[in-house]
Structure 1
Amino acid sequence: MKHTRLTAALATAFATLAASPLAHAQNADRHFLGFRQAPGSGYEIATSDGRYLIKPYAANIVETTFVPANEEGKPRAASHAVVLQPGQVPVQVREDAARIVLATEGIMVTVEKSPFRIGYSYKGKPLVAEKHGYARADKLESIEFAVEGGEALYGAGSRAVGMNRRGYRFPLYNKASYGFGAHAEQMGYGIPMALSSKRYAIHFDNPQAGYLDLDSRKDGTLRFEAIGGPKTYQVVAGDDWAQIMDGTTRLTGRQPLPPRWAFGNFASRFGYHDEAETRAVVDKFIADGIPLDAVVLDLYWFGKTVKGTMGNLAWDRDSFPHAEKMMADFRQKGVQTVVITEPFILTTSKRWDEAAKQGVLATDKDGKPFTFDFYFGNTGLVDVFKPQARDWFWNIYKELKAGGVAGWWGDLGEPEMHPSEARHATGSADQVHNIYGHEWARMIHDGYARDYPAERPFILMRSGYSGSQRFGMIPWSGDVSRGWGGLQSQMEISLQMGMQGQAYMHSDLGGFAGPVLDDELYVRWLQYGVFQPVFRPHAQEDVAAEPVFREAKTKARARDAVRLRYAMLPYNYTIAFENSRSGMPMMRPMLFEEQDEEGAAGIASTYLWGPSFLVAPIVEPGATRKEIHFPNKGSTWFDFYDDQPHRGGITEIVTPVPGHIPTYVRAGAFVPLAKVVQSTRDYNTRALELHYWHDASVTSSSGQLYDDDGKTPDAYAAGKYELVRFSSRVDGGKLEIGLAPEAGAAYTASSHSFALKVHNVARKPRAVQADGKPLNYRWDAKRRLLEVSLPLLRDSSMQVAVTL
């Protein structure tokens, strides 16, 4: 740890902080006693009731821990969330009679000695300060911060209350919300993280049950409360939201790319009862020409009834007599099989005696298997915190995988019922409840890394914790109602989860709960699904979730949505790759674009899909108008379907059409599109359309196409990938488009054939050349579209020049 004296610039920054309203966030009951550089990395501040440990992880990430005096000497629990190691961060230190200042190039921590106060600033801008800091009352321990009046607050995991979540006290206790609609304050995936419109995040590194209070008392207080556990938090700041996404996902881990088939279409319902029914559904997708990559089997695969069979975790051979042959046949058709698993082992299940005898279940106070009643029957719960339980559970997965299962659906993993009296290997039910799904996903992830190191796992779960993304967990929003309110909440849920590192949050397309037949709602939900991370219609079987069973007009529009999803695979896979490298989510809120515009803070109904698309789902029945804000004054956005331009910085009313939702592309964007295939098994990037939206206001831009084999874990790091980087430059009446291929050291690059389509070309070009050689081209005056078939792109870069 390096430390130097405070520079004049940082002294000025401190003066700015001292003048901030946050300077009044003080605790007169806590008294400063001493300061020293701690052994190893970090700094220690002694107070009258304990000590603070302050540890920089990076110039924009700092961790603070308070250890109460009565907890001295107790071992500190390892973090379940944080994977970043503290770095050798240069820190400038100043101490005088009044204060201590610890300053990196970004974050500055200021400790006022009397009254005692800790505040944080970033590059001279005050961020947040402890208000009363640590306290204990009403069986809850808390850490309190002062927030300023104009701040919008985000975070707390999966909720549906509006983008600005300030004013709510959220339970930090993962709990399913069956049949939720437009509003839901408690759901299956809580995260102890708050983010601010001032561009900082506070992550509370404690999984125990509690609350995250985002100023519910309207007194300018942000409060984390828990029944116990570490008093540790990390502050992450940045110049922009991209830097905050980078910081929070460096802190808690990045989401690896899932298998490529995960970006295709899923056939799913609650549920397929037998082998004949499942085969018929897959065959109908193929016969109807609707692309399909996976079929998902709900709980009937292991039992004929909903109740009484959970925990069998083996094929019901009456209903699925040839399951292995069925899955092999599906694979030949390019369709993968995903099965549901739950952590509940019913006392009536075929595995109860085995589980009880082997000691793999949560226990009561006497060490016996803890049993309780819930909807599905009398049950025990697998103790995923116990090594022998993880081994037992994982061996079941291995056996199923050997038979042909390709992906895992982990359901009810909050756990859905988890009595406080239950005891686990590492703590009580309430102490470990919020990390149950996290550890379950870790078990599968680690099992693949150990036993199937050449494969990417597919892990679909509805409950997790900070950092679950690094295990490849793909969360969904739960049992949403089949109604317009259910659709209306989905953008917010996914956008907020993406801000917290969980970029693959998605919904049961069409809605799950209730026997509602609403074709307009179904189509609009699937049209939105094209621009969300996972395309998976799923519902109770009273009304079909699969498009192949809907009436003709609805099926046709659903087919269009699915086919567009497959056409966009090159773009979607590339933005998923970018997420794995930078933490930037695929679904991005408007505030990422207009981070200093107050109005952007609350917008969820319009969002960005990757860097290039602006999407405005239709979420009301019979909508004849849609208000859309086009961000970035001075920019231009083009309608994806008819190329009509729209100016940035303007809010417009547009007229929706039945065939698609309003979708726009940023001027200067490169969007590669593929030929539609029946399954991603048949997908490749050797022949693509490359769309570019030209506009005089964009003098230069860039984009890229990423590809790999779709299955190798961290193919980029392994050198098993290829990239094509795109660039544009407009100068002197000439548009130049560059294509630069790059292949990893362990990858055999393929040749690429691009059909270049340049939009918004007002006049017929005088010439089009590639590397100085003339090319034939077609210019459509009505559509203002230039079309050029480019020469094969091999190992060398190509420069296309369009003389306008």
Structure 2
Amino acid sequence: MAAAGGRFRMAAVAWVVLFLGAVWAVDRSNFKTCDQSSFCKRQRNTKAGSSPYRALLDSLQLSQDSMKIQLVNEANKVPLLLELYGLKGNMTRIRINELNPLKPRYEVPDVLIGDPPTTRLSVMGRDDNSVELSLGEGTHKLILTAKPFRMDLLEGRELVLSVNSRGLLVFEHLRLKKDSFSDKVSSTVVSMWDRIKNLFSRAPSKEPATEEEGAAEASDASLPTEQESTESEKTEEASKGADEAEEEPGSWEETFKTHTDSKPNGPTSVGLDFSLPGVENVYGIPEHADNLRLRTTEGGDPYRLYNLDVFQYELYNPMALYGSVPVLLAHNTQRTMGIFWLNAAETWVDITSNTAGKTLFGKMLDYMQGGGETPQTDVRWMSESGIVDVFLLLGPSPKDIFRQYASLTGTQALPPLFSLGYHQSRWNYNDEEDVNAVDNGFDEHDIPYDVIWLDIEHADGKRYFTWDPNKFPHPREMLQRLAAKRRQMVSIVDPHIKVDSGYRVHNEIRSRNFYVKTKDGNDYEGWCWPGSAGYPDFTNPEMRAWWSSMFAYDQYEGSMENLYTWNDMNEPSVFNGPEVTMHKDAVHQGGWEHRDIHNLYGFYVQMATALGQVQRSGGVERPFVLTRAFFAGSQRYGAVWTGDNAAEWDHLKISIPMCLSLGLVGISFCGADVGGFFKNPEPELLVRWYQVGAYQPFFRAHAHVDTTRREPWLFGEDNEALIRDAIRQRYALLPFWYTAFYHSYRTGEPVMRPLWVEYPQDVTTFSIDDQYLLGDALLVHPVTAQGARGVQVYLPGKGEVWYDVHTHQKLHAPQTLYLTVTMSSIPVYQRGGSIVARKERVRRSSDCMQNDPYTLYVALGPQGTAKGDLYVDDGHTYNFETKGQYLHRRFSFSGNTLTASSADPKGSYETSAWIERVVILGAGKPAAVFLKQAGVAETRLDFTHEAETSVLTLRKPAVNIGADWSISLR
């Protein structure tokens, strides 16, 4: 009876959650504020001032590539070990851990792609209270001050970053709970040690000191080394007076609403502050529905990083959302820097600034009067558990930052070409007949698309890796019909598994003991879409390997080569859990609590799924996996989207800075649900959203089960024509998109990027997030306001020119342009000096266009020059890596001659695709145009010239895209 009552209560909770979704409004009371998160409240109660920590200079150990030194908290005498590494590529790593923890503290695995190579450190000087280190590469040096502990990073004589300058280092050491049996035993042991030591004269030894002697030794900077510490010292430290946090509410257990979180390890949070002199603009730490440039958090909550399932999230606040990337970028006209806080526990980030609230006039007045302080931004990181492990990315340019971060966590995976096309989805397409009707509808209305999606209703009772036998009885035949049209399907596979003894997947996971456990050692169960569900422990490599094996064609019955995967609800979402997620005292492999690994869970789900797709093809085919939850490094495994947005104009606008923020921290493959997930968009909003989505990296329409159908042809002929045009613009630009992703794969540079990345000294760009660049060649300013009749477009670049891609009008920069718009307008500009490849014969899917001809758009810069490139491979395998089967072509226009050559002679790929047209923007009319190829007689080309727009069009050069050639204007 009790069990039945529990099930009833769980069902009731689930219905409440579903109701919240149905009314389309987030209930903020379901999610903690900083004051309701005990460790955040404790950390924030530590005010800036003199740090209680002191570095013990006599303990400094310097090896070829690292410095180690002990820190002591003079309030509780607990020693810490600080390790500092100079890394190749102009980076520095700082790690702080307990010197003698009672047990190991969690250190994040699998996110870094390897051990970062180090550079040589050397001591440049020291005195009684400081030591100066050279960081090996470049001109950076570090000054470590012993008391109070702080570190200052300088470039030459200029201070660029300080660590703990505000004294906010907090490291809550592991301890035994007061008045526990083990604590009483520990106290007895310590007392016995004291009596024994009193029997002998005090001589230098490795025996543990009393608390008073320990304090005296600490003041003499003579704490024992790591090797000299003993288990009895650990016990003594654990039994000391400890921190005040031990007595505060929430230290050993914490209640939020109806959930109580036990904390067997007590308070274990870590925090550290960083000061950035000369910096007013900081970015990153996604995911938040906020502006690109981060706001100060004084007087409100810090930004929260804690992966959560949030129904129709609110905009412009620091609440946590589905993913977390603990990377912050700081930028000014002199340099760009980054801070990568490698911690997977719940994390809060406070941002303060001494210029916050000052008007531009006020800042100018300070400058004119010679007064005012140097602008400075201070960033404070606070995590519930783990250690301090932070990478300082020293730039100095934005592109240096991208390269540095990619060297740590990897680059954006090169996606299969089809995934850059248009995706059609909803919750849910009803059955096979519905799928066929929608698929045929695109052909009947002459609208290209590549992928149709199936949500949770396609499975048999929401048992993933299965098909509903009534609605989808013949999945292979359905997939074959799509494959015949060279299209794909994505089905959802979520990481909550229905508890059902008749379900093979559940039985195998249980028999292999792969489920996450409760604190009592039982399989953890929560409530999600299938009802009662278990949660596989994706932190376990054996579990991930088994999960990957389930994507084999003989395991995932009905699957085929053109079936790909969507991982949703992987925060993980637990409808009846605290904050709609897993209890923090749940236990993973190795005894680690969920609180330690929470933000990694979705990362591991996507990792295992992507590997499964690779393995099913014998390592030949590239995967496509969409994930909702993510962490640093998720870019290696696929795409993300911005979650459960709403059909509202503000949600359309916020999709731009949300994706820009993700691109800055390595995740380029981002998009938002076109049309909005919740609610029903009016036709104007839907059309504008298609126009926005066509120029974002991931382009998918998706909608809630309760919304009306939204296929593009259901809103009248006029709107259908506008949507068709937007989608066709996307397909024409697929060569450009694919090339941009290739660059991201090689360098870590974002595909969709803020203007300041390309114009780092133009202060006007620092706060712009309603327009952006694709690569370095196209500037996009979508229309995102209801009833808009015009938009203000900023064209950056002193002395540069831009061309309207639709009218070919030439515009000089820098300027702010008011552009009149109609419903068909998608303002896009090509940068003077760039060359962009397009395919203008748009067909029903990207694969159908594989061998179609190219058109090159050559936009001449002020000096009459331009350059660009094109990357081509088979679009879906790893042969570009394993067999060198690719083409990377370079195009250059100079001295009235356009040349094509190889940008990478290591690659080779045969294709019948050719160049059918060259369009030169900003060109005069030549007398004649000639094409020259090696071993072929020079031929004359036909051309047309539009004097009004200075557009020269060269017809049918008819050269293979892989050939070397030159075209001369004479």
How high is the TM-score relative to the length of structure 1? 0.90
- By how many angstroms is 1:43 displaced? 1.8
Structure 2 Cα separation of the partners of residues 383 and 794 of structure 1: 48
Pick the aligned partner of 1:400 from 556, 581, 591: 556
Once the two structures are TM-superposed, the CA of residue 746 in structure 1 deviates from its matched residue by 6.9
Measure, in 2, the Cα distance between the counterparts of 1:510 and 1:569. Answer: 22
Residue 178 (structure 1) aligns with: 311
- Name the CA distance, whole Å, in 2 between partners of 1:334 and 1:775: 35
Greater CA drift, 375-384 or 411-420? 375-384
- Percent sequence identity over aligned pairs: 25
Note the C-alpha offset of 1:52. Answer: 1.6
Query: By how many angstroms is 1:112 displaced?
Result: 2.7
Structure 1 letter corresponding to 2:752: M
CA shift, 1:774, in A, is 3.5
Q: Is 1:336 aligned with 2:488?
A: yes
Match of 2:112 in 1: 82
- The match for 1:466 among 610, 614, 632 is 632
Q: Give 1:522 deviation, angstroms.
A: 0.7
Match status 1:61 vs 2:91: yes
Counterpart of 2:519 (choices 357, 360, 365) is 365
Name the residue aligned to 1:485: 650
* Residue 346 of structure 1: how far off its partner (Å): 2.8
Partner of 2:899: 738
CA deviation profile, 1:66-118 (whole Å, cap 9, x unmatched): 12334398477353322243325354541221422223333432223444321
Please report how far the alpha carbon of residue 374 of structure 1 lies from its aligned counterpart in structure 2 after TM superposition. 4.6
1:111 match: 144
What is the aligned partner in structure 2 of residue 11 from structure 1?
none
Q: Alpha-carbon deviations, 1:416-437, whole Å to 9, x = none?
A: 2212242221422222110001
Asked whether the 8 Å contact 2:54–2:149 carries over to 1, the reply is yes
Equivalences for 1:356-435 in 2 at 5 Å?
Answer: 356-374=510-528, 377-398=531-552, 399-400=555-556, 403-404=559-560, 406-417=563-574, 418-426=582-590, 427-435=592-600
Whole-angstrom distance in 2 between the partners of 1:216 and 1:310: 49
The letter for the 1-side match of 2:402 is M
Pair 1:770-2:931 in alignment: yes
Q: Which residue, 461, 472, 497 being the options, matches 1:320?
A: 472
- Is the aligned partner of 1:801 residue 2:968? yes
Equivalent in 213, 228, 235 of residue 392 of structure 2? 235
Cα deviation for residue 299 of structure 1 reads 0.7
Check whether the contact 2:279–2:330 (CA below 8 A) recurs between aligned residues: no
Query: How far apart are the structure 2 equivalents of 1:238 and 1:25?
Result: 29
Q: What runs of 5+ residues in structure 1 fail to find an aligned partner?
A: 1-23, 304-308
Supply the distance in 2 between the matched residues of 1:298 and 1:466 (Cα, whole angstroms).
26
1:595-744 → structure 2 map (5 Å cutoff): 595-674=760-839, 675-685=841-851, 687-695=853-861, 697-713=862-878, 715-716=880-881, 718-730=883-895, 735-741=896-902
Q: Is the 8 A contact 1:779 1:787 kept in 2?
A: yes
| Paired amino acid for 1:359 | N
What secondary structure does 1:222 align onto?
A: strand
Partner of 1:135: 170
Judge conservation of contact 1:34–1:47 (CA < 8 Å) in 2: no
- Tell me if structure 2 keeps the 8 A contact 1:275–1:320: yes
- Determine if the alignment matches structure 1 residue 201 to structure 2 residue 338: yes
In structure 2, do the counterparts of structure 1 residues 160 and 127 end up closer, same or farther at CA, with 3 Å as the change threshold? farther
Deviations 1:614-656 (A, max 9, x none): 1001111000121111111211111110011222221121111
CA gap 1:262/1:112 in 2 versus in 1, 3 angstroms: same
Query: Match for 1:30 among 49, 54, 79?
Result: 54
Which shows bigger deviation, 539-548 or 457-466? 539-548
Contact 2:516 2:587 in 1 (8 A): yes
Q: Secondary structure at the match of 1:31?
A: strand
What is the distance in 2 between the residues matched to 1:28 and 1:748?
63
CA distance 1:642–1:332, shift in 2 (3 Å): same
Aligned mates of 1:150, 1:251 — CA distance in 2: 24
1:419 & 1:40 partners in 2: Cα distance?
43
- Does residue 563 of the first structure (1) align with residue 728 of the second (2)? yes
Q: Quick check: 1:161–1:184 contact (8 Å CA) kept in 2?
A: yes
- CA drift of 1:313 comes to 3.2
3-state SS, counterpart of residue 900 of structure 2: strand
- Aligned to 2:550, the other structure's residue is in SS state helix
Could you tell me how far apart the structure 2 residues matched to 1:395 and 1:560 are? Answer: 41
Give the paired residue count: 768
Q: How far is 1:360 from its partner?
A: 2.5
Distance in 1 (alpha carbons) for counterparts of 2:434 and 2:143: 65
Q: Which moved more, 1:292-301 or 1:61-70?
A: 61-70
Contact 1:181–1:480 (8 Å) recurs in 2: no
Q: Tell me the equivalent position of 1:51.
A: 81
SS at match of 1:249: helix
Equivalents in 1 of 2:879, 2:57: separation in Å? Answer: 49
Instruction: State how far apart, in whole Å, the 2-side matches of 1:717 and 1:236 are.
Output: 31
Deviation at 1:691, TM superposition (A): 0.9
CA contact (8 A) 2:275 2:379 kept: yes
Unaligned runs of 5+ in 2: 1-47, 73-78, 173-244, 246-266, 357-375, 575-581, 933-937
Decide whether the 8 Å contact of 1:181 with 1:487 is kept in 2.
no
Residue identity opposite 2:57 in structure 1: L
Matched residues in 1 for 2:641 and 2:158: separation? 37
Could you tell me how far 1:386 is from its partner in structure 2? 2.7
1:3-35: CA deviations, max 9, x gaps?
Answer: xxxxxxxxxxxxxxxxxxxxx997464133236
Partner of 1:14: none
CA contact (8 A) 1:634 1:647 kept: yes
Alpha-carbon distance in 1 for matches of 2:819, 2:405: 37
Residues 312/635 of structure 1: CA separation in 2 closer, same or farther (3 Å cut): closer
Q: Could you tell me how far apart the structure 2 residues matched to 1:682 and 1:272 are?
A: 25
| C-alpha deviation, 1:579, in angstroms | 0.5
The answer to whether structure 1 residue 533 and structure 2 residue 697 are counterparts is yes
Matched, 1:120 2:148: no
**CA–CA separation in structure 2 for the residues paired with 1:643 and 1:264:** 25
C-alpha deviation, 1:341, in angstroms: 1.1
SS of residue matched to 2:661: helix
Distance 1:619 1:76, change over 3 A: closer
| Partner amino acid, structure 2, of 1:172 | L
* Structure 1 residues 480 and 283, CA gap change in structure 2 (3 angstroms): same
Displacement of 1:488: 1.0
> For structure 1, which segment, 292-301 or 403-412, has the greater mean C-alpha deviation from structure 2 after superposition?
403-412
One-letter identity of the residue aligned with 1:667: G
CA contact (8 A) 2:565 2:625 kept: yes
| 1:494 and 2:659 are equivalent in the alignment | yes
1:271 to 428, 431, 443: 428
TM-score (norm 2): 0.75
Q: For the structure 1 residues 522 and 794, does the alpha-carbon distance in structure 2 shift closer, same or farther, using more than 3 Å as the test?
A: closer
Aligned to 1:96: 126
**CA RMSD between the two structures:** 2.5
1:321-359, Cα deviation, whole Å (9 max, x unpaired): 111111111111111111001111233585245543442
Q: Match for 2:346: what amino acid?
A: A
Amino acid at match of 1:721: Y
Seen in structure 2, the aligned counterparts of structure 1 residues 284 and 655 have a Cα distance that, compared at 3 Å, is same
CA gap 1:76/1:622 in 2 versus in 1, 3 angstroms: closer
TM-superposed deviation, 1:571: 0.7
State the AA in 2 paired with 1:590: L
> 1:726: how far off?
0.5
Letter in 2 for 1:30: R
**Distance change >3 Å, CA 512–CA 75, structure 1 → 2:** closer
Cα distance, 1:213 vs structure 2 = 1.9
Q: 1:215 aligns with which of 306, 330, 352?
A: 352
